[in-house]
Amino acid sequence: MLELLFGALAGSAVGFTLGLVGGGGSILAVPLMVYFVGVDDPHVAIGTSALAVAANALIGLGSHARKRNVKWRCAATFATAGVAGAWTGAMLGRAMDGQMLLALFALLMLLVAGLMFRSRGRPGNPAVVLNRGNALKLLGSGAGTGLLSGFFGIGGGFLVVPGLIASTGMPILFAVGSSLVAVAAFGLTTALSYASAGLVDWPIAAVFIAGGAIGSLSGTRLATRLADRKGVLTLVLAGLIIFVALYMLYRTAGELGWT
């Protein structure tokens, strides 16, 4: 019961982050599963978190869609390109040692935090639409993001948001809303791959999703109110990601015999 309670609390935190800034929720789900909820097998933690993050992303997407924060054609192009990559990446991730996968995950977190520092505060163009000039960029960044998303078992919102901004120049609020289309698609693809190998803890996934539903709705409401402070929010989240990544490296270094 305690594990399920921690699962619900972790889901609420992840859902809130997804609703608030789009990126960041999925990258925090795996370390929360391992170090807070107590899932021993890193592969089970990855498969379970992928399913939960995908479900929470769908809930957050509904809220952002009602507020018209989603650029549907851009988001669909990005997500479609990434689904095949997510399936391929998931198969590669399942074949890797769990602790090594967590160590690589932590290194990716540090890279993403750096990208978030670079992108904070850019206003963007709210009138952006899918066109010949950005379609190829969306397809390329979507495919690459999908591969990484599947490999690390994450929704990939922290990569999708800067990817959408770089490909189209849309404002971060629209990138947050639109990113949830890809987060849901990549997460479901990855979760199906892991579930086919029996690497999903369904009870924990259920309570994680339930907690995430509450957190996601709260985060989405706050995101709209604080749209002009997204640079500060992104800065805070990047700092949190760095802290978690360093902790993961410390833990995995011991497991892998690096210390």
Give the lowest-confidence range in 118-132, 134-148, 182-196: 118-132
Give the lowest-confidence range in 80-84, 124-128, 179-183, 194-198: 124-128
The string of DSSP letters for 217-242 reads HHHHHHHHHTGGGHHHHHHHHHHHHH
Q: How many domains does the chain have?
A: 1
pLDDT in tens, 45-68: 989 988 988 887 887 788 789 889
Domain that holds residue 250: 2-255
| Chain centroid offset of residue 1 CA | 27
Q: Phi and psi (nearest 5°) for 156? A: 85, 15
Rg (CA), the chain: 17
pLDDT in tens, 151-174: 887 767 777 887 888 889 888 788
Alpha carbons 163 and 179: distance in angstroms, whole number:
9
Largest Cα–Cα separation, the chain? 53
Alpha carbons 86 and 151: distance in angstroms, whole number:
7
